[in-house]
Structure 1
């Protein structure tokens, strides 16, 4: 894993949008953005008059099922992460106030980059949440330059290359959005969370996304992870509410938030995997920005 650049399997776009009117969103608004994005992507790609994907004769060649399929709530990992910034305290975003959204494509999904980036711009322009407040796209940056169309003209996407840093001895790990993991059917809490839990979730997610060969033996990595422990852990639980358009109801999605320090000296080989966790997100709701891990070398 450490031998190949992460940029070869991930492609990210950083967007800055601004609402045309004041709008109030949930603290973590990934569900609202994902719903609007999914509708816009289907409008952009579907040549069958937006018929259901199930039974469609083109489902084997269409790009849309790989991103959403028949059931957008299904927990099979999707090859993208839509991660909006947390909304300000109180949830209000004022008209004209910049709001950041990162869209990351994983593995082979990068071939659809022009479509998904355009769909996100279209989704924002059509409006978010029940108020359908339009968001204008102010700017976008990506690993490779492309041009997107918008209601106010074309938007040039600038190059923004990045390289993963070398392994630090100590790292501060912050759970920036709620992390929801299950261990043998039981929810992992802040008191029971270990570095090995995060590594295991990362390995599983990477394998399901096709980033790790199915036959690769990962037992040594798991053994190394058991040597690690938190220092000065400050984890808690945050309950959030999101609206499911498919079920037309509000749903609870709680998870662990907080931070801890991690001494990597016993297992420096694991650094690329924790780095990957910070890029992939882990746990339930990863495709809409939950389970975001921030790493800060100390």
Structure 2
């Protein structure tokens, strides 16, 4: 069911030329700063919003950042937006400060035809060198240099695709296909598996945020997310029997759950207010017939799960044995 999924993952490395400080979750700041520059670079109408813009369906910014269903869409036609085709993975851990001379690393995952717009991401971060990142930019903080970008292969290896000296090499961009994920899933245990929630995860069930995670909660969220990504960004109607899969998932038991709620907030320029973005982190272990869901879970390691995904929330890692991540 994931054979037509197409992903690309890139690892960015920045050198801090002055201290960089984030006031809250770094992923939110990265996304906001990049989005502002991206919009200035490509928007030709200078309209305050994309809503109602005649160029929205052809605009790189509109497609990546304010993704709307096409006029002829058979899905979500009444919605203003659909799942974005990217995920920005913030620097790991809860660090909010980086000293001059340190390196700041983050990852970018692009889905389907969004990979065609990868050069825009590199160009936008080049332009961000001029304005900087984070707090205190007026006092000289937040300056950085984009050192390199590596593209990740399906086997976990990397290929350099950008350095300041060599420029951008778009001829060497590897992609990760759904068939690669299916092959990886075949190497996982089929009756017991741990899921580590690396970044705060905002998972809804029956309209409410929950931290009492059951296996079928994960599968419901992954089915909806992946089917939408396949439809809107990979040009395919996935063959997924939602009802049958969810019924099967309800038979998988939660044998251990060690989760904690992490409160955090971000500032929304659009709404001009601070928004609560708390979620749970930790680990849960499941037992039962897990085999039918392994490709979905492997894909979830790339596309994340829950709300706030584009700024790095909902990152998961599969754990085959206690304390041992899937290789």
TM-score, length basis structure 2: 0.77
Are 2:251 and 1:227 equivalent residues in the alignment? yes
Q: Distance in 2 between matches of 1:156 and 1:217?
A: 40
Are 2:224 and 1:204 equivalent residues in the alignment? yes
Asked if the contact 1:180–1:291 (Cα under 8 Å) also holds between the matched residues in 2, the reply is: yes
Shift of 1:275: 0.9
1:66 aligns with: 63
| Structure 1 unaligned residues grouped into runs of 5+ | none
Pick aligned residue for 2:300 from 258, 277, 285: 277
- Change over 3 Å in CA distance of 1:186–1:88 after alignment to 2: closer
Shift of 1:251: 1.8
- Change over 3 Å in CA distance of 1:116–1:177 after alignment to 2: same
Q: Distance in 2 between matches of 1:236 and 1:47?
A: 45
Task: Give the secondary-structure state (helix, strand or coil) at the position aligned to 2:28.
Answer: helix
Q: Distance in 2 between matches of 1:295 and 1:27?
A: 27
2:119 aligns with: 114
Cα-to-partner distance string for 1:94-122 (whole Å, 9 max, x where unaligned): 11211111111112212212223322343
Give the structure with the larger helix fraction: 2
Are 2:101 and 1:79 equivalent residues in the alignment? no
Q: Distance in 2 between matches of 1:174 and 1:21?
A: 34
Q: Distance in 2 between matches of 1:80 and 1:124?
A: 22
Aligned residues: 288
| Structure 2 unaligned residues grouped into runs of 5+ | 69-79, 154-158, 322-327
Asked if the contact 1:278–1:293 (Cα under 8 Å) also holds between the matched residues in 2, the reply is: yes
Pick aligned residue for 2:13 from 8, 16, 37: 16
- Change over 3 Å in CA distance of 1:237–1:52 after alignment to 2: closer
2:35 aligns with: 38
Shift of 1:274: 0.8
TM-score, length basis structure 1: 0.84
- Change over 3 Å in CA distance of 1:246–1:59 after alignment to 2: same
Q: Distance in 1 between matches of 2:221 and 2:102?
A: 36
Q: Give the aligned CA root-mean-square deviation in angstroms.
A: 2.9
Task: Give the secondary-structure state (helix, strand or coil) at the position aligned to 1:187.
Answer: strand
Are 2:83 and 1:95 equivalent residues in the alignment? no
